[in-house]
Amino acid sequence: MSSVDSQQRVLSGMRPTGKLHLGHYHGVLKNWVKLQHEFECFFFVADWHALTTNYDDPTGIQESVWDMTIDWLAAGVNPGSATLFIQSKVPEHAELHLLLSMITPLGWLERVPTYKDQQEKLREKDLATYGFLGYPLLQSADILMYRAGRVPVGADQVSHIEITREVARRFNHLYGREPGFEEQAESAIVKMGKKNARLYRTLKRRYQEEGDMEALDTARALLKEQQNISLGDRERLYGYIEGGGKVILPEPQALLTPDSKMPGLDGLKMSKSYGNFIGLRENQDSVSRKIRTMQTDPQRVRRTDPGEPEKCPVWGLHKVYSDEPTREWVQTGCRSAGIGCLDCKKPLIDAVIEEQKPIRDRAREYEDNPDLVNSIIEEGCEQARDAARDTLDEVREAMGLRYR
Ligand code: TRP
Ligand code: SF4
């Protein structure tokens, strides 16, 4: 079994909701593209999650899965660097979800803020289902399955990472304390050699008695370097620093995705449901038309009326796309009626189309080659299943289910 460095592992997922737009690109995808070079990344299409709210009408999920995968690839998520997969093709997620459900108090799920919020928001749907209540735990299973230390999510998902940490802690507490844990940990310390053993004990004491976080980090780094101890011993010693049992499922941390600065065509947040979006790989004519017909400062009725950029959604786009001199030109030209609104929009149209060019080119390659997309997904699912099986083996063993 391979050893997992959970601090190096990133996992994130997205529900398949159809084609993505520039808001997703500036918010989520650019971040993923950056992370894939820094960490071992797993990105997956959360199709079961889509069913938790759309069980009554699953048409479209399949097509959305396809479109979204192409969008990711087009945006520059690279299957050579990151593992891309589809949740339902790694059914191990269902087993881990079930096993974790045994130890998850109902109250924890009922108290997740999104539970009540979403029920309020989606009033027209009957969300009094078992699947909907359990969906944050399904997300916990997604994360813990890969022992991912970092999970890029938006602010609305932070409570789901929090419950995941609680579930992991409870799991380790219940099942990480095998009989004779302390004796085993103590003899593992000795195996590291005199010098390292002394250092480990000092760091452990500094963390436990003084709450010294640096000592915790140093101790973890020390364990990572050890060649003489088994994987099991290493996990014991990770847990032992903190005074707990063996860490079977490490607690993840939310990597908060900065709020997308990308406004929609009406100045509100870009969103599919508001109909104010520009598609990630929308064609050029349509992009140009959407920007040309954007509302501007309502006070600026005639070309000769001066305007105020702060009251104009077009200015919001300049803040994302334009350099300083262009912004100066907009501010001065608008306030003095020196430029017309179409003049003002022109550099934006060019900038958006320019940004989308490599995206559109890559997308075309994949659209024309479905076999390639399929093989990327197949391979990603295989890799994900390998990692998932490693975790499940340990989880089953810890829970006393080792008779297969
Ligand atoms: N629940 C997330 C959303 O609705 C998607 C998701 C499912 C996810 N599983 C995840 C995100 C695991 C991060 C990690 O956006
Ligand atoms: Fe908006 Fe530009 Fe027209 Fe001013 S000139 S109102 S910023 S579109």
Measured CA to CA, the distance from residue 136 to residue 134 in angstroms comes to 6
* Ligand 1 pocket mutation, candidates 87, 142, 163, criterion most atoms within 8 A of CB: 142
- For the cut 80, the answer to whether the pLDDT of residue 80 exceeds it is yes
Ligand 2 mean position to 303 CA, how many Å?
A: 10
Query: Do the domains 284-366 and 6-176+251-261+370-398 match in fold?
Result: no
- The domain locations on the chain are 6-176+251-261+370-398, 181-241, 284-366
Ligand 2, residue 312: give the atom nearest the CA. 1
- For the cut 70, the answer to whether the pLDDT of residue 2 exceeds it is no
Ligand 2 mean position to 232 CA, how many Å?
A: 64
Write out residues with Cβ below 6 Å of ligand 1.
11-15, 46, 49, 139, 142-143, 151, 153, 157
- For the cut 80, the answer to whether the pLDDT of residue 115 exceeds it is yes
- For the cut 80, the answer to whether the pLDDT of residue 259 exceeds it is no
pLDDT class of 180 with cuts at 50, 70, 90? confident
Ligand 2, residue 339: give the atom nearest the CA. 5
- For the cut 80, the answer to whether the pLDDT of residue 260 exceeds it is no
Measured from the CB, is residue 309 less than 6 Å from ligand 2?
yes
Amino acid code (one letter) for 340: G
The candidate with the shortest Cα–Cα distance to 271, out of 50, 26, 8, is 26
pLDDT class of 179 with cuts at 50, 70, 90? confident
pLDDT at res. 3: 65
Ligand 2, residue 309: give the atom nearest the CA. 7
Judge whether 321 and 287 are in contact, CB under 8 Å: no
Spell out where 9-106 has E strands: 9-14, 40-45, 82-86
* Ligand 2 pocket mutation, candidates 344, 345, 348, 349, criterion most atoms within 8 A of CB: 344
Pairing state between β 40-45 and 82-86:
parallel
Within its chain, how far is the Cα of 232 from the centroid? 29
Measured from the CB, is residue 318 less than 6 Å from ligand 2?
no
- For the cut 50, the answer to whether the pLDDT of residue 201 exceeds it is yes
| The three-state (H, E, C) secondary structure of 149-183, written as one string | CEEEECHHHHHHHHHHHHHHHHHHHHHCCCCCHHH
Strand partners, 33: none
Ligand 1 mean position to 46 CA, how many Å?
A: 7
Measured from the CB, is residue 316 less than 6 Å from ligand 2?
no
Measured from the CB, is residue 330 less than 6 Å from ligand 2?
yes
pLDDT at res. 211: 87
Tell me which CATH homologous superfamily contains domain 6-176+251-261+370-398: HUPs (3.40.50.620)
Q: Name the CATH topology of 284-366.
A: Tyrosyl-Transfer RNA Synthetase (1.10.240)
What percentage of residues in the chain have a pLDDT greater than 70? 99
- For the cut 70, the answer to whether the pLDDT of residue 151 exceeds it is yes
pTM: 0.89
